[in-house]
Chains A and B, each alone.
Chain A
Amino acid sequence: MTKTIMIDPVTRIEGHAKITIELDERGEVSDAHFHVTQVRGFEKLCEGRPFQEMPSLMARICGICPVSHLLASATACDALMAVRIPQTALFLRRVMNLAQIVQSHALSFFYLSSPDLLLGMDSNSAERNLIGVLQANPQLARDGIRLRQFGQQIIESLGGKRIHPGWIVPGGVSEPLDVKKRDAILAETPEMLEIAQRTLTWFKTVMSDYHEEIETFANFPSLYMGLVNDEGKLSYYSGKLRIADASGRILVDHHNPEEYSELIGEAVEPWSYLKSAYYIPYGYPEGIYRVGPLARLNVANGARTERADREWREFRQHGVVSSSFHYHYARLIEILYGIERIEQILSHPKILSKHVRADAKPNNFEGVGAAEAPRGTLFHHYKIDEHGLITWVNLIIATGQNNLAMNRGVLQAARRFVHGERIEEGALNRVEAVIRAFDPCLSCSTHAAGQMPLEIQLARADGVVVDRVMRG
Chain B
Amino acid sequence: MALFRYHRPGDLSEAHARAVTPGAMYIAGGTDLLQLVQERVTQPAEVIDVNRLAPPEIETSEGGVRIGAGAKLNAMAAHPLVRERYPVVAEALMGSASPQVRNMATAGGNLLQRTRCLYFRDVATPCNKRQPGSGCSAWDGQNRQNAIFGGSPTCIAVQPSDFAVALLACDAEIVLASPGGERRVPMADFHRLPIEAPEIETVMEPGELITAIELPDRAAQRRSRYLKVRDRASFEWAVTSCALSIRMEGGAVSEARVAVGGVGTKPWRLPNVEPAIVGQALTEQVITSAAERAAEGAEPRQHNAFKVPLLVGTVRKALREFAQMEAVQP
| A, B: real partners | no
Q: What residues of chain B have their CB less than 8 Å away from a CB belonging to chain A?
A: none
Q: What residues of chain A have their CB less than 8 Å away from a CB belonging to chain B?
A: none
